[in-house]
Structure 1
Amino acid sequence: MTIRVVPCVAPAAKPLALALAVSLTFAASAAFADEADVPTVVVSGARFPADPALAPIGSTVITADEIRRAGSADVNEAIRKIGGVFGRQSLDGSPDFALDLRGFGSNSSQNLVVMVDGVRLSENELSGAVLSTIPVDSVERIEITRGGSSVLYGDGATGGVIAIFTKSGAARGVHGSVLASYGQFEARDLRANLSAGIGQWALDGSIGNQDTDNYRANNRFKQTNFNGGAAYSYDGGRAGIRVDSARQDSRLPGSLTEAQFQADPRQSKTPHDFGSLDSDRVTAFVEHHLGATEIAAELSHREKTVKAAYEYNYGSGPFYSRSKYDSRQTQFSPRMRNLSDIDGMRNELVAGADLIRWNRKTTADFSLADASQDSKAIYVRDELRWDAAHNGRVAAGARHEVFDKDYVDPLGMSTAPEHSVQSQNAWDLQASYDVAPGLGLHAKAGQSYRLPNADENSYRSSIGVLNAQTSHDLELGATLGGAVNNVAVRVFRHRLRNEIFFDPTINGWGANTNLDPTRRQGVEIDGQAALAQDWRISGHLQHVDASFTAGPNAGREMVLVPRNTLSARLAWVPGNGQSADVGAQWVSSQRYGNDFSNSCGARIPSYATLDARYARQLGPWELAVAGNNLTDRQYYSNAFGCKSGIYPSDGRQLKLSARYAF
């Protein structure tokens, strides 16, 4: 649901740093091990299915097997635990943590794009993609591409793109599974899915019910969802339709001061606040081959209703503030790809369009805003693969997008109807080359952009609409090893102009504004290795410097951005029906959310958490025990004031599960 808020490795990290170092060292020493038995994973190239040789340069792929082995209860958790993406505890008790690629703080959701089967989940408002509505058992793979990606994905893709692909086919016959789990805080999860391959038809459906009291008081979360699809394969292509529906209800525990957090992090000072979300999405798709040319398109329509109620005590109170947002979004994304050979070189030409219409109607005590946006984009990208022995690749692309916005709010800052038209261009150049067996280098440069959304324009510092945010992006990387044992290092820099952010120092109240020039730069290291036949280790490290580069705040750190994040996982899969998976995450300290001047005498403390899962296969049954935050660390990653506005993170939670597959 949508909740609006006015908004160097420390000694404690040494054990985790050692785990990552061991992983990387072993991967380097085993870089040339025999990897003939590694299964091929089909990935997505330029928005089309592709073989691994044409995977997005510098991308990370999470497979269904990895998700299952780690026991990830939802897609968001898989992205954080396995993909090494930093996430902040949700404010509404849902499992939809705010994901952050490359240090964009409280606006991280607006600086990455989430796609599901080619359909954009990121929206034109201050809310993150609701990934909990995607059944985790339906996911075939997740691809994480860090860095500027606006050529293919448009608005908001400066931090990167998370593309989720569900299982598109079904084996002959009928297959399915049923899962039930129970854990602390009255956490109950029931899921069932069924798939069938009948002739040229592939059918699937899943239902789920999740209910938990959560760690904090007044933080009960309930969700039911249904997802289903049908696809028909024919000579030359396939076509189908998908339906996704979800209902959420949340109790909202609110924020705490530091003193309240220290006294009892589970308490709530807002016992009567609550909210809900209803979401329905229908998507039709077609894929067709015409010789060396492929055409594909998705037509998707989504309707969403968000409600919230807050209690305030002023004078003779209490008073209640109620709000309701009804939004609709329709997306049509036709595209084509041509594969050809030019003098022994493989050429991939992709061109397409993204047409999106979004509108929202608000009924609230503080707003009667009607907002709409039409965006029209065209893009083209060409990639040439040369010198197959060294996997040489060079690619270039460009995008032009026009945004047409309307807004009016009789209760807002300006009661007159407002119309604006803004356009932006994106471009990128990419190249990669294997300079030696098992050693590849790559480079990426480009320009990405983000437009102010309806929420940001409705409470802004300027008379007119906010300017578009642009970023000049640069990345240099190296990969050592093969599919099983490897290390990948990426050095990156994003130089931003007109970054869109909520500045709490404006007029004493704060407002959304275009910041003075800012920068994100740093290094990312991913590594994985097979320690022995049954053991596997992986790790992800990100170091990022997020700071102002000009203006009165020049040299100061951006808020809510940890300088270092680190995760490591150890998996044991002996092949006798048992499996175990242990993970650790460490996050360094960060500035409080309103500390633009870097003058607060404290920082959000660093923290480390540990999770684990053990599973045993008994015929068609799988029994498992899992735990998150096993050391019961009391910590928080969201704090919007100096030692205040704190949203505590979850304490330790253990759960048992049973899964029956047929």
Structure 2
Amino acid sequence: MIQRFNSNTPTLLLGCLFSPWLLAEDKPLELDQQIVSAPSVESTTVAEMARYGSKVEIVTREQIERAGPDADVTRVLQQFVPGLYVAPKNGPFDYGTYSLLGGRDGDTLILLDGVRLNNRLYGGLYLDTLPANAIERIEVLKGGQSLLFGTEAVAGVINIVTRSPQSRVASGELNLGLDSFGGNSGDARAEQIFSNGFGDLGLLAYVSHNVSDGYQPFRNSDIKNSSDKDRGYEVTTFGAKAIQSFGDDARLQLFYQYSDANLDFARPVNDHKTTNDRVQQIATATFEHNLSERLSYFVKGHINDWDTRYTRINNVEGGGTKVINDNDYWGFTDWGMQVEGKAVLPGEHVLVFGTDNQWFKGQDDVMVIDNTQAEAHALYTQLRPNIEALPNWHPSIGVRHEAMSGGDSATVGMLTSLYDLSDNWALRGQYGSAYKLPNAEQLFVNEPEFEMGNRNLKPEKSRNAELGVDYRGSLFQRELSASVTLYKRKITDLITLDDIQWVNGEGEVRMRGFEADARLALNEQWSLQADVTRNLTESRAGVTINNVPSFFARSRVGYESVDRLWGAGGAIRYIRDVTSAQRVEYGHYSVVDADAYRYLDNAHQHRLSLLVENLFDRDYVTSRASNVDNLGRPFTSEVRYTYRF
């Protein structure tokens, strides 16, 4: 069975309710699209939480296209997610610093179509090889979310949703881009839905290639005896998705993505050549089934395989080179199985229940880790009661228990609530606990002169509370949407290095702050949007949290022509003070970006896009390492041509 509707409709409805940023001037391309009809148990998990009091932001495909021809996921997140601090280390396709609601790097869980990208070897976030052209939308779920998503979902969850086939006729897209640093990009996508004896089969394939010599990410005064002064990259990705429906009640989805990346690892001193050459493969299989109108489930298996070859060659004083690492390997494989069901009980109460199981193995030829295998198994349930006496109240309550090999187990609970005060106002809140399991390095590293693991580590535990109010209505007869969120978090059993031993600290860390965002339609062509975030951290017993800005803000103004054939916008982001791990303060900068687009035909098949980053060529610091500043991207202009068929 095929359903006809605009594919952006569900996203727009969610955005109108929960995400003022979706109401920006980035209007969707209107197409009469078709999708494979099927249950959507697994694909709506993040968005459904907004109905019960969690704050959800959605970045649309149209906003992703505004991020530039060489855009990776990090840049998209930096530009379009209120309350999320993102600082790419040395430009596109590089490591970054992330902070959501005052959290640390590892406090946000990153998913690709529901598959965990945070790895259990080091626990880091690795988004540096994901091109933006493969993404349909990005869902950001804020606050402690360990109930449904497990370890590391302390400050929130970012779910990156890849594109799916949506057209019965053969269709697709071709993009070509150039930037002022000599970088170029190209990507293509093709898709079609067919009918067969089982139902409908949707097929989609995409490929992308991004390459650049990059820019010099250090000041001249910090570069000493280095040959390679620019930080370049070359990233090639291809992927495919197949969705087979079985009547109206079941479907099978298969997905595979392969990324091959050659990434410079910028170093300012004695650097002859330092590279990460990486291959990452992600595969998923998901079966969804509606047994009846009141009972549905999904079964999902996945594998995430990451293989990196690290090379480091130093220049030697007086001439010559010295090989420190020669194609040394580090990588991991994470595979798992998740089963989740949803039942509508008598009285229209909804019960969600499931099990989440993961197995992990890793290897590092440089760092000695005695045991690089682990597994974790979880059971969880959530009740979403329907209270007839309070029809405007939408609460939920749930509990999760997870145990892993090596380290202790964790049990968490969560309460959420959304109350519709009126047609314009809604009050939301959530309270619960979250956790972060120790990774393999923290448990099993064996480097007596540098750091030692601790097999008795307990998971980090946190108590999280968020309270927010949302408004959607008008101001001076102009459409206005606004939101304010207060948050508070207390972390105990914080995993930290005590000299060279990984331990659970006796102190605690308290974080609190607020986030506010709003969008105002000045008229049918002009719009204005802004967000601000304030973070306050209070440490006990010498425990510190680093690389979290005390305050940051962004604002954007946009214009679109009446016929929607062209548009332009400008944005500014301001970052106040940030403190590094070496207790050095950096930040204090403002960066201005601008973008524009023009359709060359009324059918919206041909489009030219322009992005200018760091319009005033501001010199600013994204992070610090080894007492050296990593500089943000200087003035960069990028142009892209798009052809849709």
- Which residue number corresponds to residue 375 of structure 2? 374
Q: Which residue of the partner structure matches residue 253 of structure 2? A: 240
Q: Which amino acid aligns with 1:563?
A: S
Q: 1:387 to 1:163 in 2, by over 3 A?
A: farther
Per the TM alignment, residue 114 of structure 1 is displaced from its structure 2 partner at its CA by: 1.2
Q: Provide the C-alpha distance between the structure 2 equivalents of 1:307 and 1:55, rounded to a whole number of angstroms.
A: 45
Contact 2:489–2:511, Cα closer than 8 Å, also in 1: yes
| 1:117 corresponds to 2:125 | no
Match of 1:559 among 543, 546, 563: 546
Asked if the contact 2:259–2:281 (Cα under 8 Å) also holds between the matched residues in 1, the reply is: yes
Shift of 1:52: 9.3
Q: CA deviation at 1:211?
A: 0.2
Q: How does 1:299-310 map to 2 (within 5 A)?
A: 299-310=301-312
Between the aligned partners of 1:463 and 1:62, the Cα distance in structure 2 is 40
Match of 1:325 in 2: 330
Q: Is the 8 A contact 2:270 2:316 kept in 1?
A: no
Structure 1 residues 389 and 632 mapped into 2: Cα distance closer, same or farther (>3 Å)?
Answer: farther
In 2, the alpha carbon distance for the partners of 1:150 and 1:219 equals 36
Deviation at 1:45, TM superposition (A): 8.8
Structure 1 residue 132, shift from structure 2 partner = 5.1
Q: Which position in structure 1 is the counterpart of 2:630? A: 647
Task: Name the counterpart of 1:298.
Answer: 300
**After superposition, what is the alpha-carbon deviation per residue over 1:276-299, rounded to whole angstroms, capped at 9, x for unaligned?**
111112211111101111111211
**SS at structure 1 position matched to 2:231:** coil
Q: Secondary structure at the match of 1:606?
A: strand
Report the counterpart of residue 75 of structure 1 in structure 2. Answer: 73
Matched-pair contact (CA < 8 Å) for 2:454–2:503: no
The equivalent residue for 1:100 is 99
Specify the code of the residue in structure 2 equivalent to 1:112. T
Q: Over residues 94-129 of structure 1, what are the superposed CA-to-partner deviations in whole Å (9 max), with x where a residue is unaligned?
A: 255332212334xx1x21111222222221133644
- Please state whether the residue corresponding to 1:622 is helix, strand or coil: strand
Is the partner of 2:215 in helix, strand or coil?
coil
Q: Is 585-594 or 153-162 further displaced after alignment?
A: 585-594
Whole-Å separation in 2 of the counterparts to 1:359 and 1:476 = 39
- Match for 1:335 among 337, 340, 346? 340
Structure 1 letter corresponding to 2:206: S
Q: CA RMSD in A?
A: 2.9
Mapped contact 2:369–2:441 kept (Cα < 8 A):
no
- More displaced, 221-230 or 648-657? 648-657
Distance in 2 (CA, whole Å) between partners of 1:49 and 1:402 is: 24
Give % identity.
19
**Contact 1:47–1:152, Cα closer than 8 Å, also in 2:** no
Q: CA deviation at 1:499?
A: 1.8
Q: Which residue type is aligned with residue 622 of structure 1?
A: R
Whether contact under 8 Å (1:489, 1:526) holds in the other structure is yes
In the TM superposition, what is the alpha-carbon distance from 1:513 to its structure 2 partner?
A: 4.1
Maintained 8 Å contact 1:93/1:250:
no
Q: Unpaired segments of 5 or more residues in structure 2?
A: 1-19, 24-29, 33-38, 217-228
| In 2, Cα distance between equivalents of 1:340 and 1:531 | 46
1:528 aligns with 2:519: yes
Deviation at 1:487, TM superposition (A): 1.1
Q: Supply the distance in 2 between the matched residues of 1:609 and 1:436 (Cα, whole angstroms).
A: 39
Contact 2:72 2:92 in 1 (8 A): no
- 2:292 counterpart of 1:288: no
Q: Distance in 1 between matches of 2:42 and 2:421?
A: 22
Point out where structure 1 has 5 or more consecutive residues left out of the alignment.
Answer: 1-26, 31-36, 256-267, 405-419
Partner secondary structure for residue 148 of structure 2: helix
Which residue does the alignment assign to 1:546?
537
Q: Which residue of 1 aligns with 2:51?
A: 54
**Compared with structure 1, are the counterparts of its residues 387 and 207 closer, same or farther at alpha carbon in structure 2 (3 Å cutoff)?**
same
Counterpart contact for 1:45–1:54, Cα < 8 Å? no
Deviation at 1:205, TM superposition (A): 0.5
The answer on 1:451 being equivalent to 2:447 is no
Contact 2:606 2:643 in 1 (8 A): yes
Contact residue 87 and residue 97 of structure 2 kept, 8 A: yes
The DSSP-based 3-state class of the residue aligned with 1:588 is strand
Partner of 2:397: 396
Cα distance between partner residues in 2 of 1:187 and 1:276: 19
The TM-score normalised by the length of structure 2 is: 0.83
Cα deviation for residue 425 of structure 1 reads: 0.7
Corresponding letter in the other structure for 1:424? A
Which amino acid letter does the alignment assign opposite residue 439 of structure 1?
A: W
Query: 2:340 is aligned with what amino acid?
Result: R
Cα distance, 1:130 vs structure 2: 3.8
Where do residues 393-472 of structure 1 align in structure 2 (5 Å cutoff)? Answer: 393-404=394-405, 420-457=406-443, 458=445, 460=451, 464-472=455-463
Q: CA deviation at 1:592?
A: 2.5
Are the aligned partners of 2:68 and 2:610 in contact in 1 as well (CA < 8 Å)?
A: no
CA shift in 2, pair 1:65/1:43, >3 Å: farther
Does 1:607 find its partner at 2:579?
no
How far has the Cα of 1:336 moved from its partner?
Answer: 0.6
- For 1:334 and 1:139, the matched residues in 2 are separated by 25
Partner of 1:10: none
* SS, match of residue 62 in structure 2: helix
- 1:100 is matched by which residue type in structure 2? S
Distance of 1:399 and 1:52 partners within structure 2: 16
Q: Deviation of residue 605 (structure 1)?
A: 3.4
Distance 2:389 2:112 in 1: 31
1:147 matched to 2:143? The reply is yes
Structure 2 contact 46–139 (Cα < 8 Å) conserved: no
Tell me, yes or no, if structure 1 residue 499 matches structure 2 residue 494.
yes
Instruction: Note closer, same or farther for the CA distance 1:286–1:49 as it changes in structure 2 (3 Å cut).
Output: farther
Give the 3 Å change call, closer, same or farther, for CA 325–655 of structure 1 in structure 2: same
Distance 1:399 1:53 in 2: 19
Deviation at 1:650, TM superposition (A): 1.4
Query: How far apart are residue 190 of structure 1 and its match?
Result: 0.5
Query: Structure 1 pair 204/79, CA: closer, same or farther in 2 (3 Å)?
Result: same
In 2, are the aligned partners of 1:44 and 1:55 still within 8 Å (CA)? no
Structure 2: how far apart are the matches of 1:154 and 1:112? 11
Q: Using the TM superposition, give the Cα deviation of residue 313 of structure 1 relative to its aligned residue in structure 2, in angstroms.
A: 6.6
SS at match of 1:589: strand
1:145: how far off? 1.4
Q: Residue 631 of structure 1 aligns to a residue in which SS?
A: coil
Kept after mapping to 1: 8 A contact 2:47/2:139: no
| 8 Å CA contact 2:41, 2:288 repeated in 1 | no
Residues 203 and 131 (structure 1), Cα distance of their counterparts in 2 relative to 1, 3 Å cut: farther
**Partner residue, 2:599:** 617
Any idea what the Cα deviations from partners look like across 1:619-646, whole Å, max 9, x if unmatched? 21101111111111111121145xx132
Q: 1:49 deviation in Å?
A: 7.7
Deviations 1:421-473 (A, max 9, x none): 42101110111112233111112110100011112332656754433100011
Amino acid across the alignment from 1:94: F
Q: Which residue in the other structure is 1:161 paired with?
A: 157
Instruction: Report the CA distance shift for 1:655/1:314 in structure 2 as closer, same or farther (over 3 A).
Output: closer
Partner of 2:211: 211
Equivalent-residue separation in structure 1 for 2:388 and 2:481 (angstroms): 22
- Equivalence for 1:638: 623
Secondary structure at the aligned position of 2:65 is classed as helix
SS at match of 1:422: coil
